[in-house]
Amino acid sequence: MATNQKETVIIGAGPGGYVAAIRAAQLGQKVTIIEKEFIGGVCLNVGCIPSKALITAGHHFYNIQHSETFGVIASKVSFDIIKMQKWKETKVVNRLTSGTEALLKKNKVEIIRGTAVFMNRNHLTVEAKDGSQDIAFKNVVIATGSSPLEIFEIPMGGRVLDTTGGLSIKEIPKHLVIVGGGYIASQLAFAFSNFGSKVTILEKEASIINFFDGDIVKLVKKNYAEKRVDVIESVKITKSVQTDETVTINYIKDDKEETVKADFVLVSAGRVPNTTKLNLEAAGVKRLENGRIDVDASLKTNVEGIYAIGDITPGPAFAHKASHDAKVVAEVISGKEAVVNYKTLPIATYTEPEVAKVGLAADEVRGNKDYKVSKFSLAGNGRALSLNANEGFVRMIIEEKTGKIAGAQVVGVSAGDVIAELALAIELEMVAEDISLTIHAHPSIAESVMDTAELAMGLPIHI
């Protein structure tokens, strides 16, 4: 077999891989990207993007049935899930994935469809439908992402779905059990509840979305209760039994054996890195006990010329982390000095209300006199009131000595968008006065950030 010489090879075309490929090409590299399944990875095809489409459809269906507050009275409202799925796939997913492939080609990135396996520290074999090829590389970036964690007690198949199956479901469950209480599970619980499903969440930890402050979780749980979503925490699942029409799950809660029966079960209990089938041992690449690849701040592995980014490296498995890693690694390969900086890595979860955070959390600094906490309620924000969405707040964590913003949380409408201003403020080491002196459009949710800053200064207007 002839060996093809390549300069920079990217394995995986998700939000880490395709971004690394484009940026490396922009910086003068000759880039080849290898993808075994679909351009855009999990995020664009069966994750971040389609889940938000599902959530949006659920919001529309629910809101049109509960719009009396605005004087809008609707009757005989129905929902066509097949039509919704068609819109999601053709107008959202396919548009983004085809656009991403076009961007790769525009930047002269070579695309190879197939599965890559290491032969040694300088060679790969790529298996494709039309045969295989041997590739020698100068640099390689591993960006193979992650897959849903399978639970032995709940075998997949039939009426037991992973998140991919859940996002493509063709009928609305009467009762859906979601196993897991992380950000994906918590979002989908609201989506299906808005479609009319009875939802039960089973979470093994003491709290769902436990990476958020306790008062934020409490508010999300309150909205779950209002929408027929049961949250059962600190459970241990022991077995499941599936029939043609139902799935019954046995679990232990407070030392008591309990059962729950549903017509569908969605397992969203975490993700595992896609590293086991790469034959990393042949290349000498070090893996950690959890299967992730050990890297330094420049995303270099222990083997020269081999890099790793995204879900397969230590840290949270977020698409925006992978894209940040991608830009850094492209610079490193191109000879620039660059390191990752996760200080301003935001987390946004599209629950009800929407929640987001960046930097230090309020629970982390509780009782610590080195920090001051300022919180402004959206009940004092005109735009939130006009949207009938005034539940929530903006909160800032301020360093007492320097006055710098060290952390923030946003709860409420557009939280995932509003948090960006606060992330930028932390990145630029801004103080509250910097934000207060920035003129914000009126009326806007973003004004609440300015109001929070003024509150931190002791000069509040709207509180």
Preceding omega of 443 cis (within 30 degrees of 0): yes
392 is in an annotated binding site: no
Preceding omega of 346 cis (within 30 degrees of 0): no
Is 455 within 8 Å of 374 (Cβ atoms)?
yes
Active-site position among 60, 324, 442, 462: 442
How many CB atoms within 10 Å of residue 80?
Answer: 9
Is 25 within 8 Å of 109 (Cβ atoms)?
yes
Single-letter residue type at 331: E
CA distance 271 to 283: 24
Whether 442 is catalytic is yes
83 is in an annotated binding site: no
Is 376 within 8 Å of 448 (Cβ atoms)?
yes
CA distance 178 to 164: 13
Is 4 within 8 Å of 138 (Cβ atoms)?
no
CA distance 168 to 445: 33
444 is in an annotated binding site: no
Is 349 within 8 Å of 183 (Cβ atoms)?
yes
Single-letter residue type at 1: M
Chain centre distance of CA 227? 23
145 is in an annotated binding site: yes
270 is in an annotated binding site: yes
203 is in an annotated binding site: yes
51 is in an annotated binding site: no
Binding residues: 52, 144-146, 203, 270, 311
Binding residues for FAD: 52, 144-146, 311
Binding residues for NAD(+): 203, 270
Give the catalytic positions in this structure. Answer: 442
